Amino acid sequence: MEGPTPVSALIHAATLVVAGVFLIIRCSILFESSESVLMVVSVIGALTSFFAASVGLFQNDLKRVIAYSTCSQLGYMVFIAGLSHYSVSLFHVANHAVFKALLFLSAGCVIHGMSDEQDLRKMGGLLNLFPVSYTMILIGSLALVGTPFLTGFYSKDCILELAVAKHTTVGNFCYFLGCSAAFCTSFYSFRLVFLTFVNPTNTYKKYIEHAHEAPITMVFPLIILGLGAIFYGFLSRDLVIGLGSLFFNNVHTNYYNFNLVDSEFLAA
């Protein structure tokens, strides 16, 4: 699904691609009626998360790497919904929207400043030319891989903890593929940062001569999203998936699903 960068930020982060996940969440009462359907949803979600992450390892287009990470995160949302934790799935939808919009818009600033060049192999050495975009992509990437105390950590860590706390074959399968996908995500995210900003430049001289940081009208939304990528997960965690929270009270499965307690005190 290709489009201009602002459109990509909108459809990949918060609207179109997560519509299927939202439909599963809204229809949770139907899914809970069949254990076999839940198992199929979990297995497909886990396979999707790992497959998309592994494909992202070999992409050389700046936006395509971020797009495949979206597919991988959708797998997390689906398989945790298949494990009957719809509130956590919705929490990851909201968290993912923040840092994925940040990544896409920051990538758009780099592409704009590089005369519409998107190939990672034709970039490099842009750290001093795009300091703000570099900072925002780094923050978004750290949130994406689940760095502790950033937004992505609170939902991804909870998803993986809940999968292993199920103590079932399907739960262990989802946990294993989820951890493998997280490793791949870390690899291609820092590969993107390295090839774009740190690696010695490999682009045309005229592109470097005309390279420039984005104007304030493009940078200001990045700063807002950057703050969200740092603080949003921490500020909203107890509201959405905290023990005893009534935020998701309309989903009947939360009344008898106590795995959140297990994940909360898993270390003990």
What pLDDT score does 258 carry? Answer: 66
Amino acid at 97: A
Q: Whole-angstrom Cα distance, residue 111 to residue 172?
A: 40
Quickly state the pLDDT bin for 265 (edges 50, 70, 90): low
Asked which of 114-123, 172-181, 227-236, 243-252 is least confident by mean pLDDT, the reply is 243-252
Average pLDDT on 6-21 reads 76
What pLDDT score does 246 carry? Answer: 73
- Contact between 125 and 204 under an 8 Å Cβ cutoff? The reply is no
| Choice between 259 and 184, residue whose per-residue pLDDT is larger | 184
Q: Rg for the chain (alpha carbons), in Å?
A: 19
What pLDDT score does 29 carry? Answer: 86
Q: What three-state secondary structure class fits 61?
A: strand
Structural domain spans, the chain: 5-263
Does the pLDDT at position 1 exceed 60? Answer: no
Length of the chain: 268
Quickly state the pLDDT bin for 66 (edges 50, 70, 90): very high
Q: What three-state secondary structure class fits 189?
A: helix
- Contact between 139 and 226 under an 8 Å Cβ cutoff? The reply is yes
Does the pLDDT at position 181 exceed 90? Answer: yes
Q: Whole-angstrom Cα distance, residue 133 to residue 63?
A: 14
What's the start-to-end Cα distance of the chain, in Å?
Answer: 44
Q: Read off the pLDDT of residues 113-162 as tens digits, 9 standing for 90 and up.
A: 888 888 998 888 889 899 999 999 999 999 999 999 999 999 999 999 99
